[in-house]
Structure 1
């Protein structure tokens, strides 16, 4: 087997292998040639070639999202590295383990006027868990080994992005038959859940007194919470469980449509007071719903406890305590001391939810072809047991309004909530799951990340549904003047683009729909097996969608 002659590259490759970092996403370049040759020649590694570094990083992010294990991205020196930043920030805020390995010039070659050279040391300092700035000098072998071990261990234990910057001196392409170094492997030390006894007592006392307990669940991997815990919460009359679409938890007594519940009462103080919890418990990732944030920031609970092994954001400006634990471990520790308090909190809001669901169906039955109606048809059509990936902006917000099938797992890049990289993330995620993947996206998000289609790995059962309303339709929903030249050009960014030529260029099957009949006809065969991935582009009326959505919330208020 051929290995790079440069000892630093040998060290990196061996330590990645020793720590089972088996998926490597490589973007082409010369300075990273020692790593590309080493990873590419070793059959242990599953290597992927993605030219666009921004797409490459999100592709790796998608794989790490599903594997729950670190995936490495490798690039050359210079601006190539900076293209990783959007995915790094997403990994940082979504707790996804990502190992960024950048090749660099030796330190004495920086800032002397050489091309493809920037200041790479600590370049991601604000959004990285660990920076391993290595040395090209063989005498620093022990220090390099320590830093590489620490970086990979940090990604594994703390769940997030790390950066390993490796300077290589030319020649870069020389190979040898055997490794010349045998780096020391330092195994990670797992974090242990710990509880402050006083805060634990405060939690138990608060629980046993509170007649209105709200549990708000953000994005979670599948099976993050023991089923018995969910069943116990659902059986407690004093508990209301609000779940985001990306929480991936379900129960008939939970409340998956948060905005559907809050929007009709957001101008009725007495109803908001009925919903105000005495005690708020949160877990999971970032919250999509702006309405629940606005509600809880005004109608604050007396106590707010957040449960997460790593991060405890004071999202509602009333955080009492952050328990550094996974949810199941925490509740299994305290559940024997938690009492069920008599209350009509859950039953009252379950009754309201039933009325909302009836009104929801009544409204859909009377509206014309639009974004709202298209999303309803899409979510109903999804095959069982598929993975649903969602883009940001309008798509994830519409998804919050509709019930999702329990067998479907739902994901969205909500760490930074950007539209960049959603397609690449979905394709990367599809590479490491044994189920079909459906990616639902808006038009701007799709075109922004269209290089995501530029790869030879996308599975044939991968499906993309684009809702093309000729611009950034979400801006028509937000406050502000509309239908002006400035609004059309700089906010909504009106366009007449279509995905058909991209599909032809990259070899994807393409379908289009422009009304209900063509949509239902296209969906009837869209998920059937084939030898190519498929795109369905649905064109909706640009000027009607915002009014139909806003009238939906008004309709719920009047029922």
Structure 2
């Protein structure tokens, strides 16, 4: 097996193996050649080559999202690593362990006018949990003649450090930094950055390792909640007759079924779930916006909880956030082993464990249920809204709203549904998703960049069929995601093309002007057809109910290529149909 001749590269690759980091997404370059050699010649690693660094990082994020373990991205120096930033910020706010391994030039070659050279140290600022800036290996004696090519001060510095035996301390420093970075990525579940300087020559290989890194004691994340803390919560919980649980982004099967049943049995609890929460129970409240949007002041007073318990990631619904910021509960408790956001400006308690750990310790100690009509009243309202929802669908023409209804009914059983941001995920909140479907969306920063790449990365490491639903702007924005040799044949993309950023028509402002069309809605006449031809996707097009239903009858059939279905909807009426929906369900 070949290894890079450079000890620092050997150290990084070996410690990736020590920390069980198996998936390595590499963007081609020269300065990162030592790492590329080390990873690609070792059968332990699953290596992927993705040219576009922004796509590469989101592709890796999709893998890490599904496996819930660190995934590494490897790039050359200079502007390459700046393209990782959108995915890094998403990983930071979504608690996804993304490991950035950036190659760098030696310190003395920075800011002297060399190409692809920037200030890489701590370049991601506070959006990573750890910055490890490794030290350059000293030159070997056999390469002393190469020092003639260095500035005199550098040559003297190298010889002095070799004389003092500092290579050993540099090796120890680098090993310690790498161990710390990997441990934090796993324990705190977030992105870390390891910056790795390499001097030329970069492509030399050896058959045996010249380093023998010391193993680091791998810590496991342990969770424990103090019984005194539980008792202090119980006193408040048991005396409240209006308690609300709001669940944001959550991994499937995060909470045991018995705890969901116990929550559902309490008439003083409303459990509001989003599509991305992957929680299901007949007595829970999905479709938050269709419940809240029609409410007025007296209704809000009736809904206002005494306690709100939140867990999971960020919440999509602006309406629930506006409601709870205006009609604040007395207590807001957030449950997370990581961070707690003061979303409603009344956070009173951060319970630093996973939701399942809290519920398993807390619920068995609840001695009595408070008598309440809180859930009963709102279940009746929920049922009324659902009937009006079904009735409204029968009144509307072909549009974004009707398309989501049709498409979601045809999602295959036991599959994964990835959703793009902006209007796509907001429409999804209005529909009930079947329990057998796992739903994912990049809600950390909620950007449209990288949604396609994330979906493709997720599909590569799961045996389940993956469908990705997205809007046109998000899809075209990340079209380089299709420049990818790993897309499974059963991967499906549904692009809802309303010829622009249709969601902006729902927001305040003047519509149907040149200024609005150009700078807000960004009108276009693009189609995905040519992209499909270039990247080897089977293409389908629908622009009315009949062609949509015809395509969906065979869309999920086995194929020799992945498929994309582009659905064209009328941009001028979509916003009116959605706004009228909230009036109708009132």
TM > 0.5 fold call: yes
Report the Cα distance in structure 1 between the residues aligned to 2:233 and 2:516, rounded to whole angstroms: 49
Q: Write out per-residue CA displacement over residues 107-161 of structure 1, whole angstroms, 9 at most, x where no aligned residue.
A: 1111111111000000011200000100113410000000001111111111000
Report the Cα distance in structure 1 between the residues aligned to 2:261 and 2:229, rounded to whole angstroms: 25
1:290 aligns with 2:313: no
1:132 aligns with 2:132: yes
User: Residue 473 of structure 1 aligns with which residue?
Assistant: 502
Quick one: which of 176, 193, 198 aligns to 1:146? Answer: 176
Report the Cα distance in structure 1 between the residues aligned to 2:364 and 2:261, rounded to whole angstroms: 15
Report the Cα distance in structure 1 between the residues aligned to 2:13 and 2:113, rounded to whole angstroms: 30
User: Residue 256 of structure 1 aligns with which residue?
Assistant: 286
Report the Cα distance in structure 1 between the residues aligned to 2:289 and 2:233, rounded to whole angstroms: 28
1:506 aligns with 2:540: no
After TM superposition, the structure 1 stretch with the greater mean CA deviation from structure 2, 179-188 or 43-52, is: 179-188
Quick one: which of 224, 229, 233 aligns to 2:254? Answer: 224
User: Residue 241 of structure 2 aligns with which residue?
Assistant: 211
1:445 aligns with 2:469: no
User: Residue 196 of structure 2 aligns with which residue?
Assistant: 166
Report the 3-state secondary structure (helix = DSSP H, G, I; strand = E; otherwise coil) of the residue aligned with 1:543: helix
RMSD: 0.9
Report if aligned partners of 2:91, 2:98 keep a CA contact under 8 Å in 1: yes
1:307 aligns with 2:335: yes
TM-score (norm 2): 0.94
1:392 aligns with 2:438: no
1:316 aligns with 2:344: yes
User: Residue 460 of structure 2 aligns with which residue?
Assistant: 431
Report if aligned partners of 2:7, 2:137 keep a CA contact under 8 Å in 1: no
Report the Cα distance in structure 2 between the residues aligned to 1:408 and 1:332, rounded to whole angstroms: 25
User: Residue 94 of structure 2 aligns with which residue?
Assistant: 94
User: Residue 65 of structure 1 aligns with which residue?
Assistant: 65
Quick one: which of 514, 523, 526 aligns to 1:497? Answer: 526
Report the Cα distance in structure 1 between the residues aligned to 2:525 and 2:450, rounded to whole angstroms: 22
Report the Cα distance in structure 2 between the residues aligned to 1:295 and 1:532, rounded to whole angstroms: 46
User: Residue 435 of structure 2 aligns with which residue?
Assistant: 406
Q: Aligned residues, how many?
A: 555
| Per-residue deviation, 1:203 | 1.4
Q: Write out per-residue CA displacement over residues 400-457 of structure 1, whole angstroms, 9 at most, x where no aligned residue.
A: 0000011000000000000000000000000111110000000000000000000110
Report the Cα distance in structure 2 between the residues aligned to 1:498 and 1:453, rounded to whole angstroms: 15
Which structure's CA Rg is the greater one? 2
| Per-residue deviation, 1:335 | 1.8
After TM superposition, the structure 1 stretch with the greater mean CA deviation from structure 2, 130-139 or 82-91, is: 130-139
Report the Cα distance in structure 2 between the residues aligned to 1:33 and 1:220, rounded to whole angstroms: 38
Report the Cα distance in structure 1 between the residues aligned to 2:516 and 2:362, rounded to whole angstroms: 53
Report the Cα distance in structure 2 between the residues aligned to 1:252 and 1:158, rounded to whole angstroms: 34
User: Residue 19 of structure 2 aligns with which residue?
Assistant: 19
| Per-residue deviation, 1:193 | 2.8
Q: Write out per-residue CA displacement over residues 186-208 of structure 1, whole angstroms, 9 at most, x where no aligned residue.
A: 13323433446654333111110
Report the Cα distance in structure 2 between the residues aligned to 1:332 and 1:369, rounded to whole angstroms: 47
Report the 3-state secondary structure (helix = DSSP H, G, I; strand = E; otherwise coil) of the residue aligned with 2:553: helix
After TM superposition, the structure 1 stretch with the greater mean CA deviation from structure 2, 13-22 or 439-448, is: 13-22
| Per-residue deviation, 1:20 | 1.2
Q: Write out per-residue CA displacement over residues 469-510 of structure 1, whole angstroms, 9 at most, x where no aligned residue.
A: 000000001111111111000000000000000000011100
Report the Cα distance in structure 1 between the residues aligned to 2:27 and 2:447, rounded to whole angstroms: 22
Report the 3-state secondary structure (helix = DSSP H, G, I; strand = E; otherwise coil) of the residue aligned with 2:293: helix
Report the Cα distance in structure 2 between the residues aligned to 1:81 and 1:515, rounded to whole angstroms: 43
Specify every segment of 5 or more residues in structure 2 that has no aligned partner in the other structure, as ranges.
139-166
User: Residue 517 of structure 1 aligns with which residue?
Assistant: 546
The 5-angstrom pairing of residues 28-47 of structure 1 reads 28-47=28-47
Q: Write out per-residue CA displacement over residues 179-226 of structure 1, whole angstroms, 9 at most, x where no aligned residue.
A: 010111213323433446654333111110100100000000111111
User: Residue 378 of structure 1 aligns with which residue?
Assistant: 407
Report the 3-state secondary structure (helix = DSSP H, G, I; strand = E; otherwise coil) of the residue aligned with 2:315: coil
Quick one: which of 180, 197, 210 aligns to 1:180? Answer: 210
| Per-residue deviation, 1:64 | 0.1
TM-score (norm 1): 0.98
Report the 3-state secondary structure (helix = DSSP H, G, I; strand = E; otherwise coil) of the residue aligned with 1:64: helix
User: Residue 233 of structure 1 aligns with which residue?
Assistant: 263
Report if aligned partners of 2:240, 2:306 keep a CA contact under 8 Å in 1: yes
Report the 3-state secondary structure (helix = DSSP H, G, I; strand = E; otherwise coil) of the residue aligned with 1:264: coil
Quick one: which of 366, 384, 388 aligns to 1:359? Answer: 388
Report if aligned partners of 2:93, 2:445 keep a CA contact under 8 Å in 1: yes
Report the Cα distance in structure 1 between the residues aligned to 2:212 and 2:359, rounded to whole angstroms: 44
| Per-residue deviation, 1:365 | 0.4
Report the 3-state secondary structure (helix = DSSP H, G, I; strand = E; otherwise coil) of the residue aligned with 1:366: coil
Report if aligned partners of 1:153, 1:187 keep a CA contact under 8 Å in 2: no
Q: Write out per-residue CA displacement over residues 154-185 of structure 1, whole angstroms, 9 at most, x where no aligned residue.
A: 11111000000000000000000000101112
Report the Cα distance in structure 2 between the residues aligned to 1:262 and 1:335, rounded to whole angstroms: 28
User: Residue 5 of structure 1 aligns with which residue?
Assistant: 5
Report the Cα distance in structure 1 between the residues aligned to 2:349 and 2:567, rounded to whole angstroms: 46
Report the 3-state secondary structure (helix = DSSP H, G, I; strand = E; otherwise coil) of the residue aligned with 2:489: coil
Report if aligned partners of 1:199, 1:321 keep a CA contact under 8 Å in 2: no
Report the Cα distance in structure 2 between the residues aligned to 1:222 and 1:248, rounded to whole angstroms: 5
User: Residue 144 of structure 2 aligns with which residue?
Assistant: none
Quick one: which of 493, 501, 512 aligns to 1:483? Answer: 512
User: Residue 374 of structure 2 aligns with which residue?
Assistant: 345
Report the Cα distance in structure 1 between the residues aligned to 2:534 and 2:339, rounded to whole angstroms: 43
